[in-house]
Chain A
Amino acid sequence: MDAIAKAPRQSFRMRGRSFVALAFCPVVPIAGWLEEIDVTLARSPGFFAGKPVVLDLSAVDLSQSAIAHLITSLEQRNIHILGIEGVDAAHLTTSMPPLLTGGRHCLLAQNEPKKPEAKPKPISLLLDSPVRSGQSIFSEGDVTVLGSVASGAEIVARGSIHVYGALRGRAMAGSSGNAAARIFCQRIEAELLAINGYYQTAEEIDVALRNRPAQAWLEGSIMKITPLS
């Protein structure tokens, strides 16, 4: 028996893939065209850095040496040519980038730095009537309640919460990640206080604080409740 096992032949795999490249279309005079590139580079030096660039020579009729000169000039500006299109293969040497065909036009994704969107300033909410049991108040900013917050009511604010009456319900400040938010109330009888996800229930709140003006804030991951004096 033939003991030599045939090593399985490794198949050589290739896949087709398409990428988007910038196509440069030089126009005569080449020197003037290069100057324009220099202007662009002066404005944003890294504009072409690392971008695939294809040279489209269909608009000009250049000799082999002129093409070589053009490629060198671009390389001096740190622009590396990935391929050339729109030219007869006879005009290219083996040391030049390969000739590309079948390029299709496509829209370039603009990745100019986006203007920072004018964020609407968080509006604070003022409530001049008591918050009743079962009511749920939400605000993007601070909430100020002139009356009391009843047991069974809840106030959720991205900012701080101020209650000028008794706080008997739930108060959740800094609801979407704001550790600097605080809760203030004239009388603390709250069912639950929460800041930035850290919370204390009525049971955990110091009995000595009950019925007194108090504030709650975060110190690291510990909620502190102290009397307001």
Chain B
Amino acid sequence: MAKVLVVTSGKGGVGKTTSTAALGAALAQTGEKVVVIDFDVGLRNLDLVMGAERRVVFDLINVVQGVAKLSQALIRDKRLENLWLLPASQTRDKDALTDEGVGNIIADLRTKFDWILCDSPAGIERGATLAMRYADEAVIVTNPEVSSVRDSDRIIGMLDSKTVKAEKGERVAKHILITRYDSARALRGEMLSIEDILEILATPLLGIIPESQDVLRASNVGSPVTLNNASSAPARAYIDAVRRLMGETVTMMVPVERKGLMNRLLGRRAA
């Protein structure tokens, strides 16, 4: 049974695209057949993070409008053969998306893939609502700060009312993914604690991704962090999150950077 998973947040810049790429790659590494779809029409980025920007010919809008076939628009990842990308159009805007068109594409993809990951644009408008429309599960990416948490709460409300599943009286399975978590700052009380976030959102936690230079580094070279450096702290956190998505029970912990002795000494001195 194919699963449609939307990666969403409401607020921008919290790490939806990075997380979509990282989760997609990690899922594909377990042998699942995965497609990641960029719904951020007009502001596409997933192709960059996936390192496929130079191979985009057709995009989501072309398929929605029937200009291209789905198979023509899908881009296969060079590193993982069971990971695919359906890019967004950069020249159009979200109004070019139609409910029916998206529905047809998702239905078609369901027959070909095990996991369909929808990278939602920020906001609560057409792009975001259509990205979540056909979802079975949702990953809500949240930063440990009040504005992000409130926006996540808004998105959870929409997942419970605006999706096809919700309209049929079913529930979209929801997971919170906390990104850019800095344990040192959290200890100093400069961030919302995990407990506070979960208390406000009343939704189960999927994983905690630490703030790390590895994430930026991976994005810059066009590689999902889980592929670029699988042993880095954020990659391990994403891999754990994927294992939880697949139903495994994995102890929740905040992965920390593995520092060398010199780093530790320097780190202490700096602190």
Q: Which positions in A face B, CB cutoff 8 Å?
A: 129-135, 147-148, 150-153, 166, 168
Contact = CB atoms under 8 A, between A and B. Distances in A.
Given A134-B154, A150-B150, A150-B153, A129 B200 contact: no
The B interface, classified by DSSP as helix, strand, loop or mixed, is helix
B137 interface: no
Nearest to B124: A134
Taking residues whose C-beta sits less than 8 angstroms from the other chain, chain B's interface range is 10 to 19
Nearest to B159: A132
A39 B270 CA distance: 106
A168 B200 CA distance: 9
B267 interface: no
Closest 4 pairs between A and B when the two form their complex, measured CB to CB:
A132-B157, A133-B153, A133-B154, A134-B154
B160 A129 contact: yes
The A interface, classified by DSSP as helix, strand, loop or mixed, is loop
B202 A152 contact: no
Contacts of B157: 131-135, 150, 153
Contacts of B153: 132-134, 150-153
Contacts of B136: none
Contacts of B150: 133, 150-152
B156 interface: yes
Contacts of A130: 202
A148 B202 contact: yes
11 contacts: A130-B202, A132-B156, A132-B157, A133-B153, A133-B157, A134-B158, A147-B202, A148-B199, A150-B150, A153-B157, A166-B200
B157 to A, nearest CB: 3
Tell which of B158, B160, B202 has the most Cβ of chain A within 10 Å: B202
Given A132-B153, A152-B150, 14 more contacts: A130-B202, A132-B154, A132-B160, A133-B154, A134-B124, A134-B157, A135-B157, A147-B202, A148-B199, A150-B150, A150-B200, A166-B199, A166-B200, A168-B200
A87 to B, nearest CB: 75
